[in-house]
Structure 1
Amino acid sequence: MKIRNILFTPTLFIVMMSALFSCGVDRWPEYAAETELDTWIDSVMRQEYLWYEEIPTVTPNKYFLAPAQFLKELIYTTLDKNYSYIDTLNKVESPNYGFDYTLIKNSNVDTLYNALVTNVLPGSPAADAKLQRGEWIIKVDDKHITKKNETQLLQSGNALKLTLGKYELQKDSETKKDKGVVVETRTINMGAERMVEDDPIPVYRIITSATGVTVGYIVYNHFTAGTATEKDKYNNKLREISHVFASAGVTKVVLDLRYNTGGSLECAQLLASLLAPKEAVGHIFAELKHNNKQSYKDFSLLFDPDLIGSGVNMNIEGGYILTSSTTTGVAGTFYDCLYPVANWEILGAALPSTGVATESFINPKHGWSLNPVVCNVYNIAGESHGGVSFPAKYTVDETSLTNLVTFLPLGDKEETLFSMALGIIDGTYPPKEEEKPKPDEGTTEEKPETRTLKHVYHSQGYRVKGGIKLK
């Protein structure tokens, strides 16, 4: 689908702005310059927006708003949950450390916090310093973390000395129950922030389960085809992985979408085409339906053998999708189009679905890209679950006191959700009734919301915006 340039046409706006002419002086050139971009946004939205009929009448003074603010005046918030957006064309990526963290209260001192490392990008300052997911940052440059100094300490951009810890369960001397504590383990020096490539597939591996099942594991953090200089770099990596998995005889796939932030529908189509059962290849993956003004653009996407290209269809009959509270609705739309042809189960958290796609419209004069929702996305059964969350087969709070023990690097067989998937494959999860802990063997548990302050994302993938993109 071509990205189109919509030209500014001021005819309607001239009429609306006539009231602003004063004392017979023609102020139009002055007003046109200030309102041209918003008028262009308005014209595109009233033609292309899926819910254009719900766009309200805009008063003339609103055309002086900043572009993002003006767009908010137009979107249909009942169904458009921040899927439509506008952005500059000359966006500059920022340097970063390449790790994300969740700030959690110190269990012993209410005013202090520890930072649980939740994700580390390969090739980043964090990775170079051998920082790992599941480690805890106790101090930064020998200073304890507080609510007031957290940003200054962890987001300064400078080289940092990090004092790290490990989470353990220890018996409370009074209650005789397990209590979670963070024990100091080591100190590392991490380099200053720099530009980091955000590879959406940072981890993949093959595991033989306890019962001999060959399992492929993939972390996929966003549906991105490639980089500015290598347009198909990450799609080709997916194709290479398909050969690795097929050659190894992989029959089950664990797809880790916990940190997936969205991206391109074409990338989702490629991944689905690589994974789908062989009998689904060549059949409908998704159907896209636009508003009644643009219905001539409706089209279908296939589990496409041509898109597979140098890859290979892995003929996976079913697998497991790992999710978290940060997984976006774009991943849900991918799942919505895949599950009718294969048995995929969700582990972790309910998976939201946007059920819609956005398209990019470029204004080269002003240097902006408008990305409105333009179509619904339906699966082969004719269903679109926009605004719906698919329930998890097993819901897991990864930051509960007991699960923090197994909050480990992605791909570790003992990591909370991956080990659960392997247990289901082997038939050892859920545990039998006699294997479950007795009530008096529990832990001293706190409500997560009283412990977690906020999640902080440095990874560039978290900057992906809006609904699933047509391109």
Structure 2
Amino acid sequence: MNIKQTFAIVFFAVALPFFFYSCSKDDDEIVTTPTEEEEEEDPVVITESVYTWIESEMRENYYWYSEIPAASSLNYKLGVLDFFDSLLSSKDGKHNDSSDYFYSYIESTSDVSASTKSISQTDYSYGFEFQIYNMVDQNDNPLGYSYAHILYVVPNSPASEAGIKRGMWITKIDGKNITESNYTTLLGSTATKFTMATFETDKRFVAAGDINISSARAIEDDPVHYHTIITDEKSGKKIGYLVYNHFTDSKTDGDEKYNKELLALSKEFAGVDEFVLDLRYNGGGLITCAQLLSTILAPSSALNQTFCNMTFNDKQSPRTYNLSYAKSLISTGTNLNLSKLYVLVSNRTASASELVINALRPYMGDANVILIGEQTEGKNVGSETFENTTYKWEMHPITCQIYNSKGESDFYVNGFTPKYQVAEIDHLDKIFDFGNTDEIMLSTAISIINGTYSATKASTRSTTTQLRRGKSSLERKATNGVVVDGIRQTAKQ
């Protein structure tokens, strides 16, 4: 069997992937029981060797391998997805009253264009990210329709060309209410018409007419979405502000385009008095991008010191690998030597974003990594990619836990709780363009910096309409990271 293993450390956010199965006639064949994802497809034939490969790699590399059931207890006639899930530990992912999902996953690589976890940062879409809000009555009963709130718009996209902006609302798609059955159209489809609205404190939702948008197309979503330097009138301080939406190094493997952009920006930010890092829509990505960003932001005393440690299962030798704030990483950029960092976060902030927070705390001091927003996801683990090129399957099991230089990790398994708690849903009339100093999250950070912050003012809700947060396009976006090959192999060289 031609099996290729590609090792990579990458952090994961949860999505709802579509899987496409391949088959081979080289081995004995078994007919599997279709999973829910397969119900609308023809019966799938999968070779027994696929199961052997999955089980073997998992027993060797899975972080919680000791909790995999004995072979005699496994059902090798399950569909591949269900078989993979049957190997997973309850420690993998989130399993509680409000959430139930694993971090580890497996997907077919037979149709890369169909995969929602494609490693490419060229996204086929309209070019905007959104949050669905389900409408409910005063008794919290669903009204059967939803509105989509625009979180950000990618430049040079159908959305930007149509005049769609951050903070706008889509209330209908081609004249029809947004529901559970059609909201995925917003991810990208044919040319259509959106009915728009704005939200104002006194008038609630106000109709804003219709917008015609062209067909979805290939869109490049640069993680360095927005940056500026703000001069605060009250304090006179220069405040660096960066919106960084996913930890990705390049558009295509090897060109380091986005990392080079970060390095160039570091020079522009040199000399700022304070820094606000906006990670509220960042669900994670590459550990090496987190390492680079942190090296730019860290105090100079942290350079060449430990950034993080990755601990693998006890079958691995060595078991622990180290990444540092290597000064060589920023040879074409600069270190900002920050003693304090303000980080804007939300419930969508996860994994590599949380690593930046955790890794900087030992060097800045816990109190000087100041979080503003909502409780984060809580992902302190990493995953590697294992690919079977013969049968076109790729799996991404959790294989390590990530610690900062002080050995801290477990304490944020349920997420970081911000000192300054601000939720966008409570201030929907203040969701403006990035960089607007009246925007709720940025204005909160600035008020803390200049000493005018009022807890009472920040906690005052401006939203009166009954809304409940639903699905978000960010669930899909957060999984589109490019994996990093050879972390362990490089360390051994």
TM-score, reference length from structure 2 = 0.78
Alpha-carbon spacing, 1:468–1:263, altered in 2? closer, same or farther (3 Å): farther
Alignment map for 1:208-247 (pairs within 5 Å): 208-210=231-233, 211-228=235-252, 231-246=255-270
Quick check: 1:273–1:308 contact (8 Å CA) kept in 2?
A: yes
Quick check: 1:203–1:410 contact (8 Å CA) kept in 2?
A: yes
Quick check: 2:348–2:377 contact (8 Å CA) kept in 1?
A: no
Pairing 1:53–2:66 present: yes
- CA distance in 2 between counterparts of 1:152 and 1:318 reads 40
Please list every run of 5 or more consecutive structure 1 residues that lacks an aligned counterpart in the other structure. 7-26, 171-179
Quick check: 2:285–2:478 contact (8 Å CA) kept in 1?
A: no
Alpha-carbon spacing, 1:86–1:233, altered in 2? closer, same or farther (3 Å): same
For 1:181, the equivalent position in structure 2 comes to: 204
Give the match's secondary structure for 1:337.
helix
Quick check: 2:134–2:470 contact (8 Å CA) kept in 1?
A: no
For 1:22, the equivalent position in structure 2 comes to: none
Alpha-carbon spacing, 1:205–1:263, altered in 2? closer, same or farther (3 Å): same
Alpha-carbon spacing, 1:284–1:126, altered in 2? closer, same or farther (3 Å): same
Question: 1:137: Cα distance to partner?
Answer: 2.2
Pairing 1:131–2:164 present: yes
Work out which structure has the larger RCO, using CA pairs closer than 8 Å and 6 or more positions apart in sequence.
Answer: 2
Question: 1:104: Cα distance to partner?
Answer: 3.6
For 1:258, the equivalent position in structure 2 comes to: 280
Query: Residue 340 of structure 2 is aligned with which of 318, 323, 338?
Result: 318
- CA distance in 2 between counterparts of 1:415 and 1:69 reads 44
Pairing 1:295–2:317 present: yes
Query: Residue 85 of structure 2 is aligned with which of 72, 81, 97?
Result: 72
Give the match's secondary structure for 1:414.
coil
Question: 1:208: Cα distance to partner?
Answer: 0.9
RMSD: 3.2
Quick check: 2:27–2:47 contact (8 Å CA) kept in 1?
A: no
User: Highest Rg: 1 or 2?
Assistant: 1
- CA distance in 2 between counterparts of 1:214 and 1:281 reads 24
Question: 1:185: Cα distance to partner?
Answer: 3.4
User: For residues 156-215 of structure 1, what are the alpha-carbon distances to aligned partners after superposition, in whole Å with 9 as ceiling and x for unaligned?
Assistant: 712233332221122xxxxxxxxx512223543221111111211111111111211111
- CA distance in 1 between counterparts of 2:249 and 2:184 reads 35
Quick check: 2:201–2:463 contact (8 Å CA) kept in 1?
A: no
Query: Residue 166 of structure 1 is aligned with which of 191, 198, 211?
Result: 198
- CA distance in 2 between counterparts of 1:206 and 1:192 reads 35
- CA distance in 2 between counterparts of 1:374 and 1:466 reads 17
Quick check: 1:287–1:379 contact (8 Å CA) kept in 2?
A: yes
Give the match's secondary structure for 2:329.
helix
Please list every run of 5 or more consecutive structure 2 residues that lacks an aligned counterpart in the other structure. 7-25, 32-45, 95-101, 488-493
Alignment map for 1:42-441 (pairs within 5 Å): 42-59=55-72, 62-81=75-94, 82-89=102-109, 90-92=111-113, 95-104=124-133, 110=143, 113-141=146-174, 143=175, 145-147=177-179, 150-151=182-183, 154=186, 157-170=189-202, 180-210=203-233, 211-228=235-252, 231-246=255-270, 249-342=271-364, 343-385=368-410, 387-400=413-426, 403-430=427-454
User: For residues 264-306 of structure 1, what are the alpha-carbon distances to aligned partners after superposition, in whole Å with 9 as ceiling and x for unaligned?
Assistant: 1111111111110011111011112211110315221111111
Give the match's secondary structure for 1:271.
helix
User: For residues 284-334 of structure 1, what are the alpha-carbon distances to aligned partners after superposition, in whole Å with 9 as ceiling and x for unaligned?
Assistant: 111122111103152211111112231211111111111112222332222
- CA distance in 2 between counterparts of 1:152 and 1:423 reads 38
Alpha-carbon spacing, 1:380–1:104, altered in 2? closer, same or farther (3 Å): closer
Quick check: 1:357–1:373 contact (8 Å CA) kept in 2?
A: yes
